[in-house]
A and B are shown apart, each in its own frame.
Chain A
Amino acid sequence: MRAPVLAAAGLALAALAAAPALAQEQPSIPTQSWSFDGPFGTFDRAAAQRGFQVYEEVCSRCHSMNLLHYRDLEGIGYDGAQIAAIAANHQVTDGPNDQGQMYQRPGRPSDAFVAPFPNEQAARVALNGALPPDLSLIIKARADSSLTKDIGGGADYVDALLQGFKEPPAGMTMAANMNYNEYFPGNQIAMPQPLHGDDVQYGDGTKATLPQEAHDVATFLAWASEPMMEERKRTGAKVLIFLLAMAGVLYAAKRQIWADVH
């Protein structure tokens, strides 16, 4: 009876693993190793801070990150003064004041990331009708459904996409204002190639090549989509150690109690 059980379980797992593919005829997305992979993975703070710099200087011209607050940046190693300075670089609409007027003020750590456009229509009219997606959850929204990759799958995708801009193959007709990207489902993406290498000057001396920038942005976005990941894995280790010990004790107790029944 055990063999069929295993066979059925194997079949069921195969069914789970065979997730619906987003699109056909695309090169498979290269799998990378990430600092946050695995049960003890953590976010590489330096890479995440570099990625945040790329976001601030490049991505944030079009993409919002509405779910993040400046205070959250503590999670990738910025201290209070740095966060206050980053927040103060942005103008936040606040109000109404006691005159009934809305007004602009410098951002505070408690503010949400300031969005580049006040609303969807403003974004579309400025960008040929395209709407850049909010990036807060983009890694989790793009992760493949493999059982063990956690958020790494989405980081692989974003990293590949940022480097996937190419000339369209001969014979392919592109729609107006569309760009060819070999990893984007359907290959036509409204976003023009955002990163080319040397788009930013890294403070830590790291050379800002395109692969480096893509890797850093993907690390930053992975943190942004799952900022509690490190706490989650740490808690998990404690919980599992406790559960394994408890299971051992209970098994011994069960053997003891049942000894007289057999």
Chain B
Amino acid sequence: MALAGSATAGGRRRARLRSTAMAIARFLVVVALTYLGLLAVTFFIGRVIPVDPVLAIVGDRAPSHVVERVREELGLNLPLYQQFVIYVGKALTGDFGISVLTSNPVMTDIRRVFPATLELATLGTLIGAFLGVPLGVLAAVRRGSFLDQVVRVIGLVGYSVPIFWLGLMALLVFYARLGWVEGPGRIDVVYEYTVTPVTGILLLDTAMQGEWEAFRNVFGHLILPASLLGYFSMAYISRMTRSFMLTELGQEYVVAARAKGLSERTIIWRHALRNALVPLVTVIALSYANLLEGSVLTETVFSWPGLGLYITDSLQNADMNAVLGGTIVVGSVFIGLNLLSDLLYRVLDPRTRAR
């Protein structure tokens, strides 16, 4: 009996190992398929749109023999499937080709523009989460109160006001009129060449190099667009928090906790919020991913050289290598954040760990 018992325990451990391995394998397959799908869809869309990609490279004035030569150099005279295979092959080695617009390898460009977006999106999400979650909780607890109304109006405005308009208004008030913050762009021209880019995240770069004046300037440039993005993600997060909290507060365990005589504060912040946090992680991750895609309109208004602007500019110029590269990055961000929120699930919800 004892023997059999230990055998089943070992078997269970092995079974669990196997299931974990299976889960990882399944995850990898899904990721690989997602990437392939992403590549295929963007690649074929890029090729069927009625725009001549050679035109983007040589311009309207090029004589026809130059056009033909470039077409051949790019392999655009090959059948589509062959072009695709070549493209995927190169992409696997990390070569996404050269951007027509910037003459740089696409990956070099993305390494330059992505930190700008990352910096903005991270600060924006931090602002959104740190304000949005408490606001949502309070609104749920005092449902129907004046505070609840305020949160709902904030959410509504965040949903309905176009961001470029709000961005321009914010610039006019806080930059032009009050002079509290710096204007469009990431850094003043004066400081432009005082810091050497290491991470590309200027707050980090300036801090690491001890350029505190430049740091202040960078922060001054960053705070307005980040607050704006933060406001929009706050609007979303607070609304979702409110509804998750309402569900949790109606649960029986809350009644039980109250009956046990726990303080209202403990019930709300330690028990109900803890449970609401699980779906909230997904919400925050999604809103973060959205910002990481690059908010084109914000980046346009604030002349912010980020990913959104890069992809849009490339798209408008039929610079398909850059568009494809950018799409892969955005895809990776989504996949990565999904994975991260899955992991966080396991931390936050013990039940998922057992399974």
A binds B: no
A-binding residues in B (CB < 8 A): none
Residues of A within 8 A of B (CB): none
